[in-house]
């Protein structure tokens, strides 16, 4: 019996890691495309996980991830934006630019 529990825990950890990698790829693709669409430079070509939590939705419990990324308006200076994913769906996207407010 303990072997089954260990295998189930291992499988859950692998699933969580793969789901996180998929969410990060989605967040990177959305952020990169949004920066390109607005004529901004997407810096470092990646996003960083800022927070992780659970949210209840109509479909049930989902993982909520907030990613941060950096971009530049004219190649000088860095600004930060963020993207929120619930599961693998985007809930919020912000560049923090005055024109968005």
* Residue 100: per-residue pLDDT: 58
Mean pLDDT, rounded, for 67-73 = 95
List pLDDT tens digits, range 24-68: 999 999 999 999 999 999 999 999 999 999 999 998 999 999 999
* Residue 99: per-residue pLDDT: 64
Domains in the chain: boundaries = 2-100
* Residue 27: per-residue pLDDT: 97
Q: Count Cβ atoms within 10 A of the Cβ of residue 31 and give its class: 0-12 exposed, 13-18 middle, 19 or more buried.
A: buried
* Residue 1: per-residue pLDDT: 67
Q: Is 5 helix (H, G, I), strand (E, B) or coil?
A: helix
- Sequential DSSP letters for 72-93: ESSSSS-EEEEEEEETTEEEEE
List pLDDT tens digits, range 1-31: 689 999 999 999 999 999 999 999 999 999 9
- Residue 101, pLDDT > 80, answer no
């Amino acid at each position: 019996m303990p072997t089954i529990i260990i295998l189930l825990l291992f499988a859950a950890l692998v699933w969580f890691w793969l789901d996180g990698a998929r969410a990060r790829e989605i967040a990177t693709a959305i952020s990169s495309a949004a920066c390109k669409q607005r004529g901004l430079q997407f810096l470092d070509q990646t996003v960083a996980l800022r927070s992780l939590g659970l949210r209840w939705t109509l479909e049930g419990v989902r993982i909520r991830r907030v990613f941060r990324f950096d971009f530049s308006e004219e190649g000088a200076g860095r600004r930060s934006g963020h993207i929120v994913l619930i599961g693998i769906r985007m809930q919020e996207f912000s560049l923090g630019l005055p024109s968005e407010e």
